[in-house]
Amino acid sequence: MTIKVGDTLPSVNLKYCPYDPSLEHACGIPQNLSTDSFKGKKVVIFGVPGAFTPTCNNSHLPEFHQKFQELTAKGVDQVICISTSDAFVMDAWGKWTKTNDKLILAADGNGEFVTATGLAQDLTKIGFGPLRSQRFALVADDLKVTYIGVETGSGVSVSGATAVLAAL
């Protein structure tokens, strides 16, 4: 079952490398990012099937970075991008795209978040493996989902920053 508006976010730990401009080419030690830390906050979480992949890299991630100020102006406290990659890949992707100054690029390496929310998919047929995130965006206010957009085709529409802004 896929998470829906009104549901509570599951309690899981993601991994991320905090933004540190002095660590230009290294992550350091990945930190836990518990979804429980979103209590009392308005967060946007968007999921991508893979870091560095064409749509994720050229459309999805950049739009959230470009519209970050608009999102925070509407009360968003944090914008988190998740993928089933590891924290080191997510850190490298954030540095390469220069988006980790505003966005948190977090790893759901074991797929706990996407599995618990019903947002996992099997992309074995294209060589990506059996556990990947669907392309989605959700807004949670004090852990309650207030918006969810899951893509059913290719490209970015309901999971993009423009759709999220329209829902806020």
The catalytic residue positions are 56
- CA-CA distance, 32 to 15, in Å (whole number)? 5
Alpha helices in 27-125, H assignment, sequence order: 54-55, 61-66, 68-73, 87-97, 112-116
The kind and range of the H/E element at 111 are none
Task: Give the C-alpha separation, 32 to 166, whole Å.
Answer: 31
Q: Which of 69, 63, 68, 7 is nearest to 35 (CA)?
A: 7
Q: Are the C-beta atoms of 151 and 134 separated by less than 8 Å?
A: yes
- The answer to whether residues 162 and 67 touch, using CB atoms and an 8 Å cutoff, is yes
